[in-house]
Amino acid sequence: MNMKDVNSLLIAVVQDDIIWGKRDENFSHFERVLKKIPREVMLTALPETFSTGFMAFPNEIPEEEESIVLSWLQEQTSRFGFAIATTAIVNRGGNLFNRFFFVEPNGNYTVYDKRHLFTLSVEKDLLTEGTERVVIDYLGWKIFPQICYDLRFPVWQRNVWNDETGYEYDLMLLCANWPASRITAWNILLQGRAVENQCYVAAVNRVGKDGQKTEHNGHSKILDFKGNVLAHSENGREILIAVLQQKDLKKFRDKFPFGADSDRFILY
């Protein structure tokens, strides 16, 4: 198989620990990890807030943080030849966002700001929620970026059906710091999203204990459009790799055109 064929997407997710509040140390660590990923890979996802950990000192995030993170990501994508997806806390004119970055090897990038801010942490109090759904066109694949708590909201994640063009996206790509105490919900919801949206799902979660003493136990996974597990990890640092096939996705959607019968939602 030609892995660079746009009908297939070779994807990697990096399940790893994050050094609390130490951006440069995380840069160095993840650069070493990225070196281990086969060059045939076309897209790699890192955990949510890979450079600091979730909500580490958000009131101390400088305005130049976004350009620093983006420059590092662009350097890595150019060096390794695959796109990288992850999130970081950024400061835009005094407003803080949990921002998803999708950076391509040519330096082009797309961002998505986390829509659902976690009410059981300071995220809801200190950050600004995003308002726009984003779908990324990469190598002929429609990719839907999402962040952690977004997973609990099926209307927001609904794969919108259009009678002329079909589904809005092919792959839901989720970066998270999901706690071990609620990992059962994580596993169930990911499988449900793949089935109900007839899409691939790639979800990367961190491992280890963060600076707020919250335990994370991974369970990163890549699922197909039937909810079948293509790659899965439990606890521990690991790189998962799987091939997504567009022709298989199209065949399944053509055979089971459930989207045409779906309810139409309007989000305000």
Q: Does the pLDDT value for residue 4 go beyond 80?
A: no
Give pLDDT tens digits for 176-235: 999 999 999 999 999 999 999 999 999 999 999 999 999 999 999 999 999 999 999 999
* 22 part of the active site: no
The reply to whether 48 belongs to the active site is yes
Catalytic, out of 148, 175, 199, 221: 148
Contact assessment for residue 65 and residue 91, using Cβ atoms and an 8 Å cutoff: yes
Q: Are 211 and 56 in contact (CB under 8 A)?
A: yes
List CB contacts of 126: < 8 A, sequence separation 6 or more.
Answer: 55, 58, 59, 96
Is 114 designated active site? yes
Neighbour tally for 189: CB within 10 Å: 20
Among 90, 5, 86, 80, smallest CA distance to 36 is for 80
Contacts of residue 129, Cβ cutoff 8 Å, sequence gap at least 6: 113, 114, 115, 116, 117
Catalytic hit among 65, 66, 104, 114: 114
Q: Which 3 state secondary structure label does DSSP give 265?
A: coil
Strand, coil or helix: what is 38? coil
> In the CATH hierarchy, which fold is given to the domain comprising 10-257?
Nitrilase/N-carbamoyl-D-aminoacid amidohydrolase (3.60.110)
Quick: pLDDT tens for 14-58: 999 999 999 999 999 999 999 999 999 999 999 999 999 998 888
* 49-91: pLDDT as tens digits: 999 999 888 888 999 999 999 999 999 999 999 999 999 999 9
Using alpha carbons, list the distances in angstroms from residue 13 to 48, 52, 61, 69. Answer: 12, 18, 26, 19
Q: Which of 48, 65, 66, 123 is catalytic?
A: 48
Residues in the chain: 268
| Cα distance between residue 223 and residue 202, in whole Å | 6
pLDDT, residue 268, reads 55
How does pLDDT run across 137-183, given as a tens digit for each residue? 999 999 999 999 999 999 999 999 999 999 999 999 999 999 999 99
Whole-model pTM: value is 0.95
What is the spatial distance between Cα 135 and Cα 248, in angstroms, rounded to a whole number? 21
